[in-house]
Structure 1
Amino acid sequence: MTGKIVKIAGPLVIADGLADIKMYDVVRVGARRLIGEVIEIKPDSAAVQVYEETAGLTPGEPVVSTGEPLSVLLAPGLITTIFDGIQRPLERIKDQCGSFIAKGIDIPALDMEKKWRFVPTAAVGGTLRAGDTLGYVQETMAVKHLIMLPPLAKGGVLKSIESGEFKITETIAVVTGENGAEEKIAMLQKWPIRRKRPHAGKLPPDKPLITGQRIIDTLFPIAKGGTACIPGPFGSGKTVVQHQLAKWADADMIVYIGCGERGNEMTDVLQEFPELKDPKTGESLIQRTVLIANTSNMPVAAREASVYTGVTIAEYFRDMGYNVAMMADSTSRWAEALREMSGRLEEMPGEEGYPAYLGSRLAEFYERAGRVTALGAQKREGTLSVIGAVSPPGGDLSEPVTQNTLRVAKVFWALDSALAYARHFPAINWLKSYSLYIDNLEPYYAREIDEDWPQMRAQTTELLQQESELQEMVKLVGMDALSGREQLTLEAARSIREDYLHQVAFDEVDTYTSFRKQYLMLKAALAFYQAGLKLLQQSKDVTRIFKLPIRSKIARMKYTPEKDLAQLEKLPEEIAQAVGEL
């Protein structure tokens, strides 16, 4: 089906002559065959969102429909590759045309000529259905790439299956259906990015995604299969937090999307990840990472597609039974792309010019997270956790993108510029942030860590809230006017803030803290508070314990290596003994 251009407005092209076109069909625009997607259909025309620079296009040039929606290729070769927002392989494009992406370049997302060693696990004669595993490819040292029957496959009896090295387009198995029709199966799947991949059922999230960041794991945890947002002003550390989560989160796979952020931020990821040692496998972290770079200097329209591209790839690995964590940096840039295209379509604007459907689009995106039972007889269970950064102008959390995100995300990590300027990292404000997964996760904490963990967490939160109230009083009447108990509360809260919540991302020991170490550190910090309370009960001057030498041990406990945790186990007893000698 071929039409022609009648109007050009930046990345938006209006074409006529496309009578049978469908929404979200991919089209090729102009003589250079630029890639675009249909986003509006009228009786006599169609609006096309072009994902490349439209300079040089003229009315009358052809618009050719491919008859297919914008889709991603799913097969071995995804891991360690860096794509742009519409899954074009940037490294292979660089090899072919240099540092700049040539207009209309058409390179397959995956290498169609490379051969992968396929190891079958399904038996000939067995009955297969959609989602069942045929075998695997050891794609990297860290990831066993399962080859599954496609979600829309009819299934049947496995007639034949081959072992050996194959291209992703070659037939590896043949399935005979009920009517005797044969279906040839290759390693390559194709899936539309705007359509959720099906699953057998959704399960409640009941295990934490352990990040190694103490303020997150202790106070505001995210569950595996959960959703979180990180709003904050410029310079407050959104990208650094997401980098830390991508490096250390307890996930089998990482999908990192640079959606409209600066190019140097993606450069940091590209430079750091290959050099970082994965604590789970001992190999390079890049061996379980997929990168999507759609930076601020790339076409704005492609930002909108990039988050869907990333979440579809993440769902594919989730269906294999993996725990996948997806980072989107940032959804504000994605929303800005929606606003620009909505304006060019002359739609009725909503708040601050964003489209009226902004909230529903955000909800559609975040609801693709979850803990699910995958299709197939093997009953695989996988999770997809979605963590999106939000960049509100001037740090104004009342703006539409932040507010609509808060309606759907279950965890809110509010970054604070005052904490960032005070060099407190992570700069997550413990008074504004929250997690709605705590009740779901408490049975896990009691079972896997210690029964008193929920009480320790509650006491920590209470101390920090009391400190905030007391600091207002100190500003009015001074520290000397406070009672001994109030002074102890302030000192204990300061210890929790500086010795526990503050974490040095660039220190090789402090950058990651296991849950066991977090428990021992928090127990020691609270033991100092409990010892002070006992001193108060004896009517003694509590301020004497503030300068005890044991305080330096508490301050240094974050730098204790994981192999030396026995030192932290003894710390509460040492605190009690030191205070008892007063």
Structure 2
Amino acid sequence: MSKGTVKKVAGPLVVAEGMHNANMFDVVRVGEQRLIGEIIEIHGDLASIQVYEETSGLGPGAPVESTGEPLSVELGPGLISSIFDGIQRPLVDIMEAIGTNLQRGIEIPALNREKKWHFVPCIDEGAEVEAGDIIGTVKETDLVVHKIMVPYGLKGKIKSIKEGDYTVLDTIAVLETEAKEKKNITLMQKWPVRRGRPYKQKLSPDKPLVTGQRVIDTLFPIAKGGVAAVPGPFGSGKTVVQHQLAKWADADIVVYIGCGERGNEMTDVLNEFPELKDPKTGKSLMERTVLIANTSDMPVAAREASIYVGITIAEYFRDMGYSVALMADSTSRWAEALREMSGRLEEMPGEEGYPAYLASRLAQFYERAGRVISLGKEGREGALSVIGAVSPPGGDLSEPVTQATLRIVKVFWGLDSNLAYRRHFPAINWLTSYSLYDLGKWFNANVNGKWTENKGRLMKLLNDEAELEEIVKLVGMDALSAPDRLKLEAARSIREDFLHQDAFHEDDTYTSLEKQFLLMDLVLKFYDISSENLNKISIDDLVKLPVRERIGRFKYVKKDMIKKEYENILEQLNKEIKELVQREGA
């Protein structure tokens, strides 16, 4: 353990001298108030410390003490339903201890030391185990069974293990290593946040993370274990999209990181999430959620740690074999923290003042996502999908954080303020967004063999509409041929009936893959049948067909009625076209 004194204070950056035995990324306590910080640069006995709390009143000569350990998170029962700040301090426990005003230097452990959890072993004494093996379970909430794993680096024989009620620090099992050392295993383990948790094998991301949002699942799907970016200007709906994904995505655990967002947005999350009902079970969504609340009025340095804390917790649940979805809102605020600390360290700035290593830091974060085979003899498959919001100033997607992110992620959901102002939700621009995951085979095999073909036709109609709208602006609608006008009508139906979704309607907020395919098919069937008969019927009559409203309302149909309604609409469509042909012929 190294001790020194403060030499200089510059905002959240403190330079300490006399730190001979300190190491990079050691956690330190600064001043009489024992402010928490982390060493980010060492020159001889001078250590630059990133302090995660307000440093006002701190001056030269104040004591600095290194803990000798890197910034780590506590992993064990009690994580689910908890609300932590950016360095895993439990905000609810702090409020109960000292009230609503957060005091500097407060030390309250992340996991409750008094609460007892009922541990049920799943192996017997004498069993040979290795790192990652599950030795028992704790029922953490109604939705989550917490699997207790052998900590990394341990291997040997279980000498004793017993069912019972334990705190996170009590010994639940004793393991004898190959060197005949006895190691106590507790419900809790620690892991340094800046190091990814190990796994056996990374798998190809070839299964979709189903979200129930039609524009995402059909046009720009994300794979389980994939990474996506949601950039967009202020007010375009980044946070709302992430809320929808947190609620509806096909994930067992949700980790939501409010990384430097405005306090009112984080307050909405804290108020809404406990009230949201998990669609699969009807229980509170918080029973499978971990919240990291680090708002823009908190010390800027803590933003930098918050995403590492969040992704380490997410990796821990991934190792149990769960599918985890991590939402980071927003990585732009995290990059601003990097820029501030880099500036205070007087490093050579890169573009727009961001550090030159911005892209590599972003890559290190996103590459921790993936679908993997976890450590342990069982060979569990877990997935960690990361969806990062990006808030470019003024919606300028050419700025460094957005560009560095786009070089890393495989899915780009570009939000459009014009769509948002038109109340089109989700406001994902279908002309600029993309997904590089090849999931067509999965959709064809598991939903319908025509999925990829229909998706391609949908995109072609939307692209054709964009080109035709340019012509309409120049010469007017009357100059278009009947086939082109029909294309515009079909594209309008795709936009308004398929891509637009009502987040507050119980049947439209989530759309199953089967329903997505049938709705897509109905829109294309209208276009195909109309095209076949366009030489016999006027385009104006086709546009006014009563069945079009019924196609538009298909998204509000209850899930147990979709097949019957689909067949009825097709029957009505054929009947109305036939009547029109007969009338025109007469």
Same fold (TM over 0.5): yes
1:244-269 CA-partner distances (Å, limit 9, x unpaired): 00011010000000000011212222
Q: Which amino acid aligns with 1:92?
A: D
Q: In 2, distance between residues paired with 1:488 and 1:268?
A: 43
1:247 aligns with 2:244: no
Q: In 1, distance between residues paired with 2:570 and 2:346?
A: 65
Matches within 5 A, 1:421-440: 421-437=421-437, 439=438
1:533 aligns with 2:531: yes
Q: Which residue of 2 aligns with 1:62?
A: 63
Q: Which residue of 2 aligns with 1:265?
A: 265
Question: Could you say what secondary structure the match of 2:255 adopts?
Answer: strand
1:87-122 CA-partner distances (Å, limit 9, x unpaired): 000001111111111010000001011100001001
Question: Could you say what secondary structure the match of 1:78 adopts?
Answer: coil
Q: In 2, distance between residues paired with 1:124 and 1:63?
A: 46
Q: In 1, distance between residues paired with 2:561 and 2:65?
A: 65
Question: Could you say what secondary structure the match of 1:53 adopts?
Answer: coil
1:275-295 CA-partner distances (Å, limit 9, x unpaired): 222122221111000000000
Matches within 5 A, 1:400-411: 400-411=400-411
1:359 aligns with 2:385: no
Question: Could you say what secondary structure the match of 1:459 adopts?
Answer: helix
Q: In 2, distance between residues paired with 1:295 and 1:171?
A: 37
Q: Which amino acid aligns with 1:533?
A: S
CA contact (8 A) 1:524 1:568 kept: no
- Alignment length (residue pairs): 578
Per mean C-alpha deviation after superposition, the further-off stretch among 110-119 and 541-550 is 541-550
1:539 is displaced (CA, Å) by 4.1
1:556 aligns with 2:557: no
CA contact (8 A) 1:488 1:543 kept: no
Q: Which amino acid aligns with 1:27?
A: V
Q: Which amino acid aligns with 2:122?
A: T
Question: Could you say what secondary structure the match of 2:290 adopts?
Answer: strand
Q: Which residue of 2 aligns with 1:303?
A: 303
Matches within 5 A, 1:209-358: 209-358=209-358
CA contact (8 A) 1:253 1:289 kept: yes
Q: Which residue of 1 aligns with 2:419?
A: 419
Give the alignment partner of residue 522 of structure 2, picking from 524, 535, 539. Answer: 524
Q: Which residue of 2 aligns with 1:118?
A: 119
TM-score by length of 2: 0.98
Question: Could you say what secondary structure the match of 1:241 adopts?
Answer: helix
Question: Could you say what secondary structure the match of 2:533 adopts?
Answer: helix
Per mean C-alpha deviation after superposition, the further-off stretch among 230-239 and 177-186 is 177-186
1:184 aligns with 2:184: yes
CA contact (8 A) 1:521 1:568 kept: no
1:530-555 CA-partner distances (Å, limit 9, x unpaired): 1111112x443233111011111012
Q: Which residue of 1 aligns with 2:374?
A: 374
1:564 is displaced (CA, Å) by 2.0
Q: Which residue of 2 aligns with 1:102?
A: 103
1:487-537 CA-partner distances (Å, limit 9, x unpaired): 00000000000011001112222111111111111111111111111112x
1:241 is displaced (CA, Å) by 0.4
Q: Which residue of 2 aligns with 1:469?
A: 467
Percent of aligned positions that are identical: 64
Per mean C-alpha deviation after superposition, the further-off stretch among 226-235 and 541-550 is 541-550
Q: In 1, distance between residues paired with 2:453 and 2:579?
A: 28
Q: Which amino acid aligns with 1:143?
A: V
1:496 aligns with 2:494: yes
Question: Could you say what secondary structure the match of 1:113 adopts?
Answer: coil
Give the alignment partner of residue 445 of structure 2, picking from 443, 447, 452. Answer: 447
1:568 is displaced (CA, Å) by 3.4
1:576 is displaced (CA, Å) by 2.4
CA contact (8 A) 1:528 1:576 kept: no
Q: Which amino acid aligns with 1:456?
A: N
Root mean square deviation of aligned Cα = 0.9
Q: Which residue of 1 aligns with 2:584?
A: none
1:333-366 CA-partner distances (Å, limit 9, x unpaired): 0000000000000000000000000000000000
Question: Could you say what secondary structure the match of 1:225 adopts?
Answer: coil
Q: Which amino acid aligns with 2:64?
A: V
Q: In 2, distance between residues paired with 1:110 and 1:512?
A: 35
Q: Which residue of 2 aligns with 1:13?
A: 14
Per mean C-alpha deviation after superposition, the further-off stretch among 300-309 and 513-522 is 513-522
- Point out 4+ residue stretches in structure 1 off by more than 4 angstroms: none
Structure 2 residue ranges without an equivalent (≥5): 581-586
